[in-house]
Structure formats: C-alpha cells, structure tokens
Amino acid sequence: MRSFRPQTRPRALVIASLIAGALVVGAISLLLGSNLISPIDVFRGLFAPVTDTDAIVWGSRVPRTVLGLFVGFCLGIAGAVMQGQTRNPLADPGIFGVSAGASLAVVIGVYVFGTSSILSTLWLALAGAIVASVVVFSVAALGRGLASPVPLAIAGSAVSALLVAFTSLLVLSDETTLAAYRIWVVGSLSGRSLDGLAAAAVFAAAGLALAFLNIRSLNNLALGTELAHGLGENLIRARLVGLGAITLLTASAVAITGPIGFVGLTAPHIARSLVGGNHSWLLPASGLIGASVLLGCDVVGRLIGGNAEVPVGVVLAVLGGIVFVAIVRRGKVAAL
C-alpha cells in the first residue's frame, strides 16, 4: 500500500507522541470509572492498598487498563499486517476465521464440558483461533496457491461462515451455552482479570516477532505481487509468516476479551496518515493507536453506562463505524 499523503513530520517524533498518548489514556483509565474515586485515593490505592476503594483500583481498573492496552496493541498490529498482506484497505484480522474459530471453541467448551472459568475460556479461544487459521491456510493452499492473497481471503470468508453456522446451531439448541456465549461474544474488558495474561502474552510475543520479521515482505508486497516476486520475495513464505503473525496476535486478543471489531480495521489507516506506508514505522504506530483507541472506548463505556457499563465492543461498533466513514469520506483510504 502506498502512503497517501507526504510525510512532513519526523516519524520518531510521531511514535514518541503515540507512546505518550497511550500512557495518558492509561492514566485516564485508572482515574475514571463508574465508581467515583478521587485521584488522590486512586494514587494511594495503587501503592498502599488497604481499603475497599483500593480493591476497586487493583481488582478492576488496573486489569482493565493493562488488558485494554495489550489487546488494542495486538489488534492494531494484526490489522496492519492483514492489510499489507492482502493489499486491501478494508481487510480486518477476523477475515482469516480467527474470531469465528475462537467463538466456536468457547461454545463447544461450554456445551460439551460445561467450562466457565476465565482461564479455560482463554485456552479454548486460543486453540480454536489457531486451528481455524490452519484450516484456512490449508484450504487456500489446495486451491490457487498462496502467491496471491485472493485464495486466503476467499478461504477465510468461507471457513468463517461455516464456523459461525456451527456456533449458531449450538447456542440456539442450549440455553446455558447461549447465556455464556452472549457474555463472551460482545467483547468486553469488564470482569476480566490478569490471570490469563501471561499465557496470552507468550502467543502475542511470538506473533509480534513474526510480524516484524514480515516487514521486508510487506514493503515488497506493497509494490505488487509480480514486482515483489521479481525482487526475490518468497511469496509463500511471506504469506505463511504473515498469517502466523495475524493468527497469534488476534487469538491472544480475542481469547481475553472476546471478538472486538474496528480496531484492526481503523488503526492502520490512522497510522498510515501519520507515518506513511513503510511497515517499519506503520506496525508500531498501528499498535499504539489501537491500544489508545480500545482503552479510550472502554473508558467511554464506563462513563456513559453508569452502573450498567456499556461493553467496549459496543462502543467501538458505534464510534468505530463513524470514524471509518469519516476516513473514507475524507479520501484517506490507502490506494491499492
């Protein structure tokens, strides 16, 4: 993908500003919530927790802040890799069946084994997401091959539709499964703990490593498949590494919060307008923007919902749609 406006600012300064912005949003997340707590009490609770108010800080706001930054960062980078791999500005990490696979695995766990703990749900979601991506990759490899992104996109859409159908069949046939699925599928940071973060972070670290190993390939693919091949790019290896990065990053995020849309779609567009199309800068910028956007929307959901908080997935569906329409209307969707 090409950069769609000249870069007039130092990219390092942009990245530094995005880091500062993420830290500011993190601080706001600690200070604001449905429970009114003064900044002094929040600060005291962070370093000397002894009261019920302090328990709110460490039991709710700290986990939500950490998980929000983590999940947003993963989805932002996964979206940038996905759009770079497919050269499609409308591509989203969920197109490879990752979210659908995670959803089906969680539903099977509840329907068959009666699982309910956060940690078991996390492992099921991770396993389902990875298996779904392997299936998508295998189906695409049996078709027209992996030199073109088209077989992967088609296989991903087909497999996602099939997995969604199986998921609907299970949840509609059992009320207990439907109740558990409704809580998980909406996408939320509420009620999540840091218990599963270590496991998810291992997968995310592997995905992050693959994403940065894929940078040279992504920059070559932006020139077109034929030209990338002429430059000596191994297209199959590039697709495999990119798919691995998308799968691991998205699976880590989805396993913690449930499916969350629009972050992976919009963050790369905003990042591209700030740092250009070079993926050495685009990937970290997309991750930082994704972290700030997701956590910021979570804070909005806490404030507008009162005691009945609005899940971050719902806030993102509303605000993300509006922002993306604005981006399109202003002509800021990258050219292919």
Note the pLDDT tens digit of each residue in 27-77: 999 888 777 787 887 877 777 766 666 677 877 889 999 999 999 999 999
Inside any domain, residue 262? yes
Q: What amino acid occupies position 87?
A: R
Give residue for tokens 């905003």. 270
Inside any domain, residue 2? no
Distance between start and end Cα atoms, the chain = 5
> Is residue 18 predicted with pLDDT exceeding 50?
yes
Inside any domain, residue 335? no
Show the tokens assigned to 217.
């390939």
With 0-12 CB in 10 A as exposed, 13-18 as middle and 19+ as buried, what is 168? middle
Convert the pLDDT of each residue in 214-228 to its tens digit: 999 999 888 877 788
Give the model's pLDDT for residue 151.
77
Inside any domain, residue 3? no
CATH number at 39 reads 1.10.3470.10
Whether the full predicted model's pTM is greater than 0.85, yes or no, is: yes
| Euclidean distance between CA atoms 236 and 245, whole angstroms | 14
What's the total number of domains in the chain?
1
Inside any domain, residue 218? yes
| Euclidean distance between CA atoms 217 and 215, whole angstroms | 5
Convert the pLDDT of each residue in 305-332 to its tens digit: 666 778 888 888 888 777 777 766 765 5
| Euclidean distance between CA atoms 89 and 222, whole angstroms | 12
Give the model's pLDDT for residue 9.
58
Inside any domain, residue 286? yes
Let me know: does 42 contact 169? Beta carbons within 8 Å: no
What sections of the chain are H helices per DSSP?
11-31, 39-47, 52-56, 62-86, 98-108, 118-142, 150-171, 175-185, 197-213, 215-221, 225-230, 235-257, 263-275, 279-305, 312-329
> Is residue 253 predicted with pLDDT exceeding 50?
yes
Give the model's pLDDT for residue 106.
86
The candidate with the shortest Cα–Cα distance to 99, out of 263, 307, 276, 213, is 263
DSSP code for 172: T
**36 lies in which domain range?**
11-329
Inside any domain, residue 142? yes
Inside any domain, residue 266? yes
